[in-house]
Amino acid sequence: MNTAWQDTLSHLGYTLDDEAKATPQVPYDGTGTAVAPLTQHRIIEIIGPETEKFLQGQLSCDIADVDKLGSRLGAHCNIKGHMISLFRVMKRSLDTFWLRTRSDNLDKALPTLKKYILFSKAEADLNDELVGIGLFGTGAAEIASKLVSKPPECVDEVSCEGERLLVRVPGVDRFECWLPAAEAATILNELGDSVQLAGTDDWLLQEIRAAVPDVCASTSEAFIPQMTNLQAFEGVSFNKGCYTGQEVVTRLQHRGILKKPMYRVAVSASECPEPGQALHTTEKENIGQIVIAAPTGDSGYEMLAVITKEQAENAELHLATQDGPVVKLLELPYTLDPRMFESKR
């Protein structure tokens, strides 16, 4: 992580653990406008005249959408269609794109991109000068207007101003801003009492409530994109042509049945569930896997989890063991296409 950014966060009273999780000195109370440092994510920068062509041939999303709106979620899959990494793809300029991804999966995400980019007129490298802040809560849109003169109005739309890139992300008035560390420090100081300082867990909870998936080191190559509902965010294109893993992803969409979608769930437990941790029923083991999890207070946690549909909707779910804490289903903020669960033959 950028050293100057670490110093800024420390000065503001944040503590950072070994996994770069940021915790504010005063807990966010869940009201008003909040700003959270996105310390568990980093930016891979792709630069060159063939950047768009390269990304179009590698990622699951349609880069034409990114060219138009400024951003999309997009997965980089292996040849079997399983997601190696998941990016928020953001267009910075004509031949420069930023891929926001999990820090703990960077050692896999970046070398894989570099392996495929070898014969393209483009380069992929970590940009450690850039840091992210997330805005959410009442008044977030007003704060966004202080960062750029014309904030994005729809999800995935991007506004660039100077060195700043602001993107509206799923959920009610939620934004990510990526910019140089020194500028981020100035912004946080200028915002002062107009915002509350929130932490990694607070931002992650907002992601979970918007049911936005992510891929961590422990879940890399565990899921096909549709298993994390990525198609609900236009993060999978079925019309753009070939990309790595496309044959498997498209076959599931047009000829297969999705047996394991992603659910939003809750549990009471003694400690926070980990991505990749298994879910069970009393009668059957390993019927699901946690994608991400965040605390809600009083030993409560909300999670996104990929679960066998039949078991999720007809059996009691348990965390960790077959008699572990009971996991309850919560409502998704979007509707999945029912045809994905029907036979196409």
d(CA 193, CA 337) in angstroms, rounded, equals: 43
d(CA 141, CA 49) in angstroms, rounded, equals: 34
Do 173 and 273 fall into the same domain?
Answer: no
Note the pLDDT tens digit of each residue in 145-187: 999 999 999 999 999 999 999 999 999 999 999 999 999 999 9
Do 288 and 189 fall into the same domain?
Answer: no
Do 180 and 269 fall into the same domain?
Answer: no
Q: Output the pLDDT for position 261.
A: 98
Do 168 and 273 fall into the same domain?
Answer: no
Q: Output the pLDDT for position 3.
A: 87
Cα atoms in the Cβ-side hemisphere of radius 13 Å centred on 19: 10
Q: Output the pLDDT for position 1.
A: 73
Task: Indicate if the pLDDT at residue 345 is higher than 70.
Answer: no
Instruction: Supply the CATH number for residue 270's domain.
Output: 2.40.30.110
Do 184 and 202 fall into the same domain?
Answer: yes
Note the pLDDT tens digit of each residue in 213-259: 999 999 999 999 999 999 999 999 998 889 999 999 999 888 889 99
In the chain, the percentage of residues whose pLDDT exceeds 90 is 89
What total of structural domains would you count in the chain?
2
Write down which residue in 255, 283, 314 finishes a domain. Answer: 255
Q: Output the pLDDT for position 27.
A: 93
Q: Output the pLDDT for position 23.
A: 96
Q: Output the pLDDT for position 298.
A: 87
Do 275 and 250 fall into the same domain?
Answer: no
Instruction: Supply the CATH number for residue 78's domain.
Output: 3.30.1360.120
Note the pLDDT tens digit of each residue in 262-316: 999 999 999 999 999 999 999 999 999 999 999 998 899 999 999 999 999 999 9
Q: Output the pLDDT for position 160.
A: 96
Do 224 and 294 fall into the same domain?
Answer: no
Note the pLDDT tens digit of each residue in 8-64: 999 999 999 999 999 999 999 988 899 999 999 999 999 999 999 999 999 999 999
Q: Do the strands 130-137 and 174-180 form a parallel or antiparallel pair, or are they unpaired? A: antiparallel
Q: Phi, psi at residue 163, to the nearest 5°? A: -90, 0
Domain that holds residue 327: 258-341
Instruction: Name which of 310, 303, 225 is nearest 265 in CA terms.
Output: 303
Do 234 and 332 fall into the same domain?
Answer: no
| Chain centroid offset of residue 315 CA | 29
Write down which residue in 208, 233, 255 finishes a domain. Answer: 255
Write down which residue in 212, 234, 255 finishes a domain. Answer: 255
Question: Is the pTM above the cut of 0.85?
Answer: yes
Do 282 and 223 fall into the same domain?
Answer: no
Q: Output the pLDDT for position 334.
A: 97
Instruction: Quickly list DSSP for 71-133.
Output: EEEEEEE-TTS-EEEEEEEEEEETTEEEEEEEGGGHHHHHHHHHHHHTTSS-EEEE-TTEEEE
Average pLDDT, stretch 318-323?
94
Do 191 and 298 fall into the same domain?
Answer: no
Do 57 and 87 fall into the same domain?
Answer: yes
Do 137 and 237 fall into the same domain?
Answer: yes
